[in-house]
Amino acid sequence: MRLFKMMLFLSLALTLVSCYSVRFQVENGQWEPDDTEEGDPYYRGYLERSVPKKVVTKKLITGADYFNISDCESGALHTVEYKSTLGGILLNLVTFGTKKQAKVRYVCIKKEPSN
Amino acid sequence: MATTTIEERQRWDTLHKNGPFPLKFFLKTKLEKDSSGLSGFEKYKDVAVEIQKLIKQAADSNERFRAIGSRWSMSSIAHCKDRMHYNVFMNLKFSIFEGEMHQDSTYDHSNLFWFQCGNQIKEISLYLERRGKSLKTTGASNGQTIAGCISTGVHGSTIDEGSVQDYVVGLNLITGPNPEDNIYVERKSRPALRDTYAQNFNAAKVIRDDEIFNAALVGLGSMGFVHGVVIETENLFLLHRYVKKLDKAEALKLADTLDFSNYDPKILNTDFKGVRPFHYKVFMNPYNTGENKYAVEFIYKIKYYDNYKADFGNPIPFQKEFVYLDLIYLFIKIAGKIPKSIPKLINLLKSSILPKEEKTTVGKLSEIFWDAGYQGKAFACSFGVDHTHSSKALELLAKLTREHPVPGIFAMRFIKQSDATLAFSKFPFTCMVEIDGIQWRKKDKIIPLKEYSTKMIEILKNNNIPFTLHWGKNANWEFPGLVEHMFGNDLKKWKKVRSNLLSIPMQDVFSNKFLDATKLSEPLALDEDLIV
């Protein structure tokens, strides 16, 4: 029983540690601005968008597919954030590694109109 | 056609949540798409017509209209209860060619650029850098729009350059709904562009007049819609940044005199002895009276060369780690894990020493004054005084702050005098004494911000220190006779120009509560008009 509890505790700890958020941001680009009060304070003043599909299939995890981003008018990205959640890890466990849940947020580069 | 979305809203707030303020309509205009095949000039003219349509709609509804940019101002200067127009997507950019210059112009055409109002400082810097050019100065960061910067007097601490409005050489204003209300203004004493070039931008009239230009420069969003600005840039340069601890007396002497002729900053591997820095800034924790050194930021201008990163490294990763960036950022860093109790935080500051930071960084202007993310609900009060009064003003305001503690720390920055009629940098060299920090609540039992800022005004008045206030920062703007006290006859000059440029109905359309509170929206009395 004690061993089982320890294993459970260890599994939970490992699962929690597996939750992470990684953010990439370009240095030389103007972010697309926005004027809203809602959302994550980190993105205040930025037009934050997210990939609607949260369940990530094995093809995405293994690199055989990619997230499709089609709404950046400038065609360029300023910030990309990949967030792995506890729910996502649990889904991964339940589906034996075939599916995962992730949150992908991004900010586009501001459109530069042509002259 | 340019398109405007009109969103019904209940409220609006500044970036640092100094509101909320009530609002009816939030307007956002986007330029005609590239696929339309319109040229830049055609898109610019097209959106000018759209803006005039929006101004007419506001006037017909007896409502006020106000252009806003990145909402960095902490005062209510950007707010208007009726129609607020978000113009950040109006970001056309134009180089100026030799044949487009006025015959008497003394400017080098390659240094001049026409930027539409919604261009943000960062995108302007990136655009200029691709052409080997740089802005002359910016604020501590880069998110503001160019029109927002000049309308409120955004500044850095560039002793010999001034504020953002000081490198503007021309303004395209839309002062009403009629075709003749689209005007281009520049100085008569320093003309820049040919009339025919301004006409490319739909300007029906070109005005060359120093008094009108200077009044419109810091126009507080009330001289019409600033559609475009022509600015003078310069060749790329590098900035050498260093923060060190300096004896209080020495830091204050440098502030009071701005005389660096015998001063040696003793920065390793450099020889800046006797050189006046590009930028000088003094940081001060008012609560720790035992600290005998101030943290001081020195930035020197050096010649640009391409592979500076090979010698000094990429400045951006260092800048991200530095604590001496903008004042709010520094405050949050030194306060560490901010206790929920603001009084406890203030107690913590009594023993908190400003951190040491002696890493040199070298980079372009846009790299040294880089992105500043949202740092929470913040406040800032900022006073302009003649630099010879800087140590005295700092001492008085710091003492007042110890008597009425608020969660913030001080800094002093220095700016060259501006020609703009209502620039707060009105002294030969203005020292901006500023306190930035986090907002508090009623239950914290701390002096209310309005009362604190009233006491700040009173203490400077009582000690006969002439002062100005930063238009975009917190203050008791309803303090009786405040603007008249700060600007005297210049206030009348500004009002006179406003009444010349804007019809009476348009003066109301381009007013807001801030202007009403400061009496800036009140027209000049007829007899005063004759005297100015």
Query: Could you tell me which chain A residue has the CA closest to the CA of B93?
Result: A115
H or E element, residue B484? helix B482-487
Question: Is B374's CB within 8 Å of A42's CB?
Answer: yes
pTM of the model: 0.94
pLDDT at B4: 98
pLDDT at B374: 75
CB proximity B34 to A under 8 Å:
yes
What confidence tens digit (pLDDT) does each residue in B503-532 have?
A: 999 999 999 999 999 999 998 876 666 566
Question: Average pLDDT, stretch A61-68?
Answer: 86
Of B372, B374, B397, B371, the residue nearest B384 (C-alpha) = B397
| pLDDT category of residue B372 using cuts at 50, 70 and 90 | confident
H or E element, residue B517? helix B513-517
Q: Which of residues 35-64 of A touch B (CB under 8 A)?
A: 35, 37, 41-42, 44-45
Q: Which of B206-220, B221-235, B339-353 has the lowest mean pLDDT?
A: B339-353
CB proximity B219 to A under 8 Å:
no
Q: What's the DSSP call for residue A43?
A: G
Separation between Cα atoms, residue B329 and residue B350, nearest integer Å: 19
What confidence tens digit (pLDDT) does each residue in A69-90 have?
A: 989 999 999 999 998 888 888 8
What confidence tens digit (pLDDT) does each residue in A87-109 have?
A: 888 888 888 888 888 889 999 99
Q: Which residues does chain B have within 8 Å of residue A45's beta carbon, measured at their own beta carbons? A: 15, 70-71, 143, 374
Q: What is the DSSP string of B31-83?
A: PPPGGG---HHHHHHHHHHHHHHHHHHHHHTT--EEEESS---SSSTT--SSE
Contacts of B104 (CB under 8 A, 6+ apart): B191
pLDDT at A31: 96
Q: Which residues does chain B have within 8 Å of residue A115's beta carbon, measured at their own beta carbons? A: 39-40, 92-94
Question: Is B13's CB within 8 Å of A45's CB?
Answer: no
Question: Is B71's CB within 8 Å of A35's CB?
Answer: yes
Contacts of B181 (CB under 8 A, 6+ apart): B52, B174, B175, B204, B224, B506
Q: What is the DSSP string of B374-393?
A: --SSEEEEEEEEEGGGHHHH
Question: Average pLDDT, stretch A44-73?
Answer: 87
DSSP reduced 3-state for B487? helix
Predicted complex ipTM: 0.92
CB proximity A29 to B under 8 Å:
yes
Q: Please report the number of interchain residue pairs, chain A to chain B, with beta-carbon separation below 8 angstroms.
A: 56
Q: Which of B26-30, B233-237, B292-296, B439-443 has the lowest mean pLDDT?
A: B439-443
What confidence tens digit (pLDDT) does each residue in B402-451 have?
A: 999 999 999 999 999 999 999 999 999 999 999 999 999 888 889 999 99
- Nearest chain A CA: its distance from B275 CA (Å): 31
- Nearest chain B CA: its distance from A44 CA (Å): 6
| pLDDT category of residue B351 using cuts at 50, 70 and 90 | confident
Question: Average pLDDT, stretch B293-318?
Answer: 94
Q: How many CB atoms lie within 10 A of CB B261?
A: 9
Query: Could you tell me which chain B residue has the CA closest to the CA of A73?
Result: B33
Burial class (CB in 10 A: 0-12, 13-18, 19+), B6: middle
Q: Which residues does chain A have within 8 Å of residue B20's beta carbon, measured at their own beta carbons? A: 37
Burial class (CB in 10 A: 0-12, 13-18, 19+), B310: exposed
* Mean pLDDT (chain B, rounded): 94
Question: Is B91's CB within 8 Å of A113's CB?
Answer: yes
pLDDT at B19: 95
Q: Which residues does chain B have within 8 Å of residue A44's beta carbon, measured at their own beta carbons? A: 15, 373-374
Question: Is B15's CB within 8 Å of A112's CB?
Answer: no
pLDDT for B120 beyond 70: yes
Burial class (CB in 10 A: 0-12, 13-18, 19+), B136: buried
Question: Is A30's CB within 8 Å of B123's CB?
Answer: yes
Q: Which residues does chain B have within 8 Å of residue A35's beta carbon, measured at their own beta carbons? A: 12, 26, 28, 68, 71, 86
Residues above pLDDT 70, as percent of chain B: 98
Question: Is A33's CB within 8 Å of B374's CB?
Answer: no
| pLDDT category of residue B70 using cuts at 50, 70 and 90 | very high
Tell me the one-letter amino acid at B417. Answer: Q
Separation between Cα atoms, residue B47 and residue B227, nearest integer Å: 9
Give the mutation candidate from B43, B91, B119 for the A interface (greatest A CB count, under 10 A).
B91
pLDDT for B492 beyond 60: yes
Higher pLDDT, B400 or B357: B400
